[in-house]
Amino acid sequence: MKRILFFCQLLIIFTLPVPHSVMAAAAEGINLETLTHLVQEQARQPYDPDARSMPDFLKQLGYDEYRDFKFKPDQTLWHDQPLPFELEFFHPGYIYPRSVAMNVIGPDGTLTPVPFSSDLFEYGPQADLIPLLPEKLDFSGFHVWHTDASGELKRVGLFQGASYFRMVSSFNEYGLSARALAVNTTNPTPEEFPEFTTFWFEQPASGATSFVFYGLAEGPSIVAGYRFVLTPGSPIQLHTEARVVLRTVVEELGLAPFSSMFWYGENTARRPADFRPEVHDSDGIFIETADELVWRPLSNPSRTRTDIFAGNELKAFGLQQRDRDYEHYQDIEADYHLRPDAWIVPGAGMREGSLRLLEIESPHEYADNVAMVWVPAEIPEPHKVFAYDYDVYFGERPAPPMATVVATRYGESLRGDGSIEFVIDLAGGKLDLLPEDAVIEINSEIEGGEFVWQNIRRNPHNDTWRLNLRVLPGANQEIRLRASIHDDDEQLSETWTYWWLPTP
């Protein structure tokens, strides 16, 4: 979502409206059943784009000004109680134009709002804004902290902006984002960004290993309720149970979405004039079925494009930062080599559909130009409850038992015949145990061109195996490739797949 911010001194004093259905649900208590009723009731109400808005002077803050708002560490929710989780809250403003109501579910089921107060924040140079803040205001999101077995308080993840959330990697670094849901992400229709409006947090028991909370999200065409169970660890797990009701017909409903960034990498033929060898939050997607493991490197294409994969009965899918070598990034500030992998294990309601990958041409690293969504085969009818569940993991995904792709490169062949040479390095599994003279079969497919030459051999410099595919593009100058390696009818590697477009 891109916004141009202008500064002004307009102040609007207002009271945040609370929908009657939300108030009714609060009286009943919050669980998955009452939340489902709330979603149904809210979907029957017209969408109010001005609900939960805030004064213009907050929305027009710049990046650096917004960073002056700092939550006081000793004000976290449950800070003075011997509980394993604490919550820090984010100030509204900047690119977060609508505030979000926060509530605590007590041990006896009672609901208590978490009130906004300027006393929770340090304002620094922005302290002159404190008297201008309206009496009724909420937060823009929250940050989860967890006290681990050693007694150290560590960050786990955050929810802020539309329906976005992020979790740290196994190396305590943030990276790509997940979303609760997406509407028309890869469709020509303008994308809709449903937003969380309300959260309810179950107060954890003193020995709890997981944190349970609920969220309500809303957009012009959709209302959704979620029960989340967040379990810290390596990886972090977020179990998600969802109830979605459409207000109107939508063309594409995206479930379990991810957003990431890929500016350039090893597979970029013409790189920007930057000192860093690679710049990306993720370098590929993986898709695991009962029969196959697929690896699809990401790219910064010469034009926006959508790649569609079969999405029936998937075991798992996600985005990875597979390359963990600092020397390949040389960035001591962004630490791209430490960014998390994130993957989905689908559950009920996510069996038949398609997986869609959107790649947008980007001139820099400051925009998420990669999105991935799972789209059900049948979009639910308006006003009917659509239930589904899944687990999303953040961390470092373990390597599979077979060989995986560790690098993808390509370039124009030096033969001058217009052919393109793809170089794919593989390692792991039984491949590492094979002798140099082993007979290995290449199983490859091509659309939009023809193979000129194929070869695989051990690389004596790093003990990987190098697969070479030299191809000649067809008339449309667009190639799709698939390749894997086999030995005695046994597949030794994951399936590498690529969509090549010429670089302008």
Over residues 195-230, the pLDDT tens digits come to 999 999 999 999 999 999 999 999 999 999 999 999
CA–CA distance, 453 with 181 (Å, rounded to integer): 44
Residues in the chain: 504
Q: Is the pLDDT reported for residue 9 higher than 50?
A: no
- Measured CA to CA in angstroms, residue 386 lies from 91, 239, 241, 243 at distances of 33, 17, 11, 6
- Measured CA to CA in angstroms, residue 140 lies from 111, 121, 198, 406 at distances of 20, 13, 10, 39
Peptide bond preceding 235: is omega within 30 degrees of 0, i.e. cis?
Answer: yes
User: How does the average pLDDT of the chain come out, rounded?
Assistant: 93
pLDDT band at 29 (very low <50, low <70, confident <90, very high): confident
Q: Is the pLDDT reported for residue 19 higher than 80?
A: no
CA–CA distance, 314 with 451 (Å, rounded to integer): 31
* Average pLDDT value for residue range 162-187: 97
Over residues 464-492, the pLDDT tens digits come to 999 999 999 999 889 999 999 999 889 99
| Amino acid 6: pLDDT | 22
Q: What letter does residue 401 receive in the DSSP assignment?
A: S
| Amino acid 503: pLDDT | 82
Domains of the chain: 20-257 (2.70.98.10), 265-376 (no CATH), 404-500 (2.60.40.10)
Non-local (6+) Cβ contacts of 417 within 8 A are 452, 472
Give DSSP secondary structure letters for 156-204: EEEEESTTEEEE--TTS----EEESEEESSSSSSPPB--EEEEEEEEPP
Q: Is the pLDDT reported for residue 294 higher than 80?
A: yes
CA dihedral over 407, 412, 415, 417, signed as positive or negative: positive
Q: Is the pLDDT reported for residue 416 higher than 70?
A: yes
- How far is C-alpha 297 from the chain's CA centre? 17
110: left (phi over 0), alpha (psi -120 to 50) or beta: beta
* Average pLDDT value for residue range 371-398: 97
Q: How many CA atoms lie within 13 A of 303 on its CB side?
A: 7
CB 354 within 8 A of CB 375: yes
Q: What letter does residue 493 receive in the DSSP assignment?
A: B
* Average pLDDT value for residue range 441-452: 97
Over residues 238-274, the pLDDT tens digits come to 999 999 999 999 999 999 999 999 999 999 988 999 9
Q: Is the pLDDT reported for residue 5 higher than 70?
A: no
- How far is C-alpha 233 from the chain's CA centre? 18
H/E segment holding residue 37: helix 32-43
Q: Angle 436-294-281 (CA atoms, 0-180°, nearest 5)?
A: 100
pLDDT band at 310 (very low <50, low <70, confident <90, very high): very high
pLDDT band at 182 (very low <50, low <70, confident <90, very high): very high
Q: Is the pLDDT reported for residue 417 higher than 60?
A: yes
Over residues 119-168, the pLDDT tens digits come to 999 999 999 999 999 989 999 999 999 999 899 999 999 999 999 999 99
CB 49 within 8 A of CB 220: yes
CB 184 within 8 A of CB 191: yes
Backbone phi and psi for residue 37, each to the nearest 5 degrees, phi listed first: -60, -40
CB 429 within 8 A of CB 493: yes
- Amino acid in position 95: I
| Amino acid 452: pLDDT | 96
Q: Angle 179-185-58 (CA atoms, 0-180°, nearest 5)?
A: 60
Q: Is the pLDDT reported for residue 504 higher than 90?
A: no
CA–CA distance, 299 with 367 (Å, rounded to integer): 14
Backbone phi and psi for residue 289, each to the nearest 5 degrees, phi listed first: -115, 180
CA–CA distance, 89 with 81 (Å, rounded to integer): 17
* Average pLDDT value for residue range 87-91: 98
| Amino acid 28: pLDDT | 64
Structure token pair of residue 493: 């590697």
- Which of the residue ranges 4-13, 286-295, 385-394 would you say has the lowest mean pLDDT? 4-13
What percentage of the chain carries pLDDT values higher than 90? 88
